[in-house]
Chain A
């Protein structure tokens, strides 16, 4: 196991910067998720760690050793590919044992080890099959087995669960989590599924347009998203963002927006600074912090009902504030909600997030 470090790494394809001046440090034994929308440079970052892509500038270190221009075979890493990349002409035993074969292990020894790993992953009975003769979930576990069959310094995963159906995906996610606890492996895991990242990661790096926007623990990212982008990306459903005009009234912050009633929020120096540049602020409230409230009460949003989806233990109530600005609440109740055309959702002041006109988080009191 080893640490991974990026120092000012940039990767350009022609004029286009897929990864732009990225620096981070992944500690020994950490499980880091690279999270972000399609095309933000996650795979490119991962491939640079693997040595399949060379940075345009910057340095990469694995276990303190510089590997920026080292061939993949000399890095001693393991990688699970999104398309699994199982060799179609080899049976499962040979597929899983391949890394041991190139390391010069004898046939009996490497097949023995492959069987051990396969048994743990419950594919031990399929060792004679070709990859085309097993199911998608079994292929996924085979590619996992091939990565786990030898001791690597770092384990890289590129959306390994994205081709699985919902149930298998949950199962595999649980297994990966268990594996991480068991082995204490250093892992970098690419995904654009925020739930996967929250469930697996010790830390999450949220990427956007080749930059890392926030690199923090899942709970930190959930509680204190650094930008509206992160707030809008993490959470299920993501945080509601309401654009409002802010002003200081009687030493308190007043926010004005269509359908929004809000009692004076505590002023801070940070809010004062933000208001000095622009009075356009963004109010953020997570769906799970919203509940049905009395119309006209303090800290509420009122708007026509757009959708009311019953999810079993909870309901998703969505209001339409016009111009497709929607607000969604996750309401935990067993009662059947009888919602009229116009609904009022309430929240408490402690759950309010504020962002300035550039989308940056305004730290709350005591942050």
Chain B
């Protein structure tokens, strides 16, 4: 097929525009990849010369920064386990039982959840946590995130479980399984891809969150990495770009690793029903 001249010009213009937009989005990513290995990194984009790991050595020499990564991990893992387990059980019950008004429950919770983890609820959350004597503990952060993320997690999972035929568990029970056995032997393995999606989503949410730990935690030894990044500022308040860049890269690695692991292991693909 031959293109007419105007169409040809139009294509070139379109491609050029697309490339420009792509480049604009790629620049910060390139900085993100280059700066950590540059001993004289600045906010401008530059190829490291020479490539060096010195920035990382400095970061790992900073015990506060390393402790913060560990804290992030504790809080994210704790939150994920709580959200994953509670959302699975709650969503299963909401999907399979015949409680009247069960969908109203889900929608109301969903509505309020955006409030709980949003900044509007910060004062009440602060008061509740401090009244419970949980101020400056990992538990405080974990519970707050669990409360905020659970409704959405439940909603996603309930939808997922609704789409799985009841006959799986029913056939297990007719075959002699108790409801608990049917859940663990048959339902849970089929729901697992949905749980994985929720877990990854919750992990990313907690790992990247700044405000809640910043407010609920006091001591440096409990701060997660998202807050600790602030320690790479000089007394004058200007960022120490070299350390910041290296730390950011380390900070984003667990999330990338999680995505890769999940897509390798589960492929973000659902079993669904069997087609006849």
Residues of A within 8 A of B (CB): 50-52, 71-73, 75-79, 81, 83-89, 98-99, 101-103, 131-132, 136, 139, 146, 150, 156, 163
Q: Which residues of B contact A88 (CB under 8 A)?
A: 190, 271-274
Closest-by-CB residue of A relative to B172 is A98
Q: Is there a chain A Cβ closer than 8 Å to B123's Cβ?
A: no
B37-45, B162-170, B235-243, B251-259: which one contacts chain A?
A: B162-170
| Interface of B toward A, CB cutoff 8 Å | 165, 167-168, 170-178, 181, 185-186, 189-190, 271-274, 276
CB pair A72–B170 under 8 Å, yes or no, is: yes
Within the complex, the shortest CB–CB distance from A20 to chain B, in Å, comes to 21
Residues of B within 8 A of A51 (CB): 173-174
Query: Quick one: which of B175, B190, B274 contacts A102, CB cutoff 8 A?
Result: B175
- How far is B170's CA from A49's CA once the two chains are assembled, in angstroms? 13
B168 touches A87 (CB 8 A): yes
Q: Are A89's CB and B177's CB within 8 A?
A: no
Chain A min CB distance to B238 (Å) = 55
A residues less than 8 Å from B172 (CB atoms)? 87, 98, 102
CB distance from A288 to the nearest CB of B (A): 34
Chain B residues with CB under 8 A of A83: 165, 167, 273-274, 276
CB distance from A314 to the nearest CB of B (A): 32
Given contacts A88-B190, A139-B276, contact A103 B170 (CB under 8 A): no
Separation in Å of the A365 CB from the closest CB of chain B?
48
A131 contacts across to B, CB distance below 8 A = 274
3 interchain residue pairs of minimum CB distance: A99-B175, A85-B167, A163-B276
A50 CB contact (under 8 Å) in B174, B189, B274: B174
Which of B167, B174, B271, B272 has the largest number of chain A CB atoms within 10 A?
B174
Q: Which residues of A contact B168 (CB under 8 A)?
A: 85, 87
What are 26 A-B pairs with beta-carbon distances under 8 A?
A51-B173, A52-B170, A71-B173, A71-B178, A72-B174, A73-B174, A73-B177, A76-B176, A78-B174, A81-B170, A83-B273, A85-B167, A85-B168, A85-B171, A87-B168, A87-B185, A87-B186, A88-B272, A88-B273, A89-B189, A98-B172, A98-B175, A99-B175, A102-B177, A132-B271, A139-B274
Q: Tell me whether A89 and B175 are in contact in the complex, defined as CB-CB below 8 angstroms, given that A81-B167, A98-B185, A139-B274 are known contacts.
A: no
For B167, list chain A residues within 8 Å (CB). Answer: 81, 83, 85
A75 to chain B: which residues have CB within 8 Å?
174
Q: Give the contacting residue for B274; candidates A77, A84, A99; CB below 8 A.
A: A84
A103 touches B176 (CB 8 A): yes
Given A85-B171, A88-B271, A99 contacting B165 (CB threshold 8 A): no
Other A-B pairs beyond A50-B174, A98-B172, A99-B175, 4, CB < 8 Å: A85-B168, A88-B271, A98-B177, A163-B276
Q: Which residues of A contact B177 (CB under 8 A)?
A: 73, 98, 102
Chain B residues contacting A156 (CB-CB under 8 Å) are 174
B168: nearest chain-A partner, CB-CB: A85
Given A72-B170, A87-B186, residue A78 in contact with residue B274 (CB < 8 A): no
Q: How many angstroms between the C-alpha atoms of A85 and B187 in the bound complex?
A: 12
Cα–Cα, bound, A75→B168 (Å) = 18
A84: which B residues are within 8 A, CB to CB? Answer: 274, 276
Contact assessment for B176 and A99 in the assembled complex, using a CB-CB cutoff below 8 Å: yes
Residues of B within 8 A of A52 (CB): 170, 173-174
Task: Collect the chain A residues with CB atoms within 8 Å of residue B170's CB.
Answer: 50, 52, 72, 81, 85
Which residues of chain A are near B190, meaning CB under 8 Å? 87-89
Nearest chain A CB to B232's CB is how many angstroms away? 46
CB <8 Å contact, B173 and A72: yes
Contact status A86-B274, CB under 8 Å:
yes
CA–CA, A75 and B189, complex, Å:
26
- How far does the alpha carbon of A294 sit from the alpha carbon of B172 in the complex, in Å? 63
* Cα distance, A136 to B276, chains bound together (Å): 5
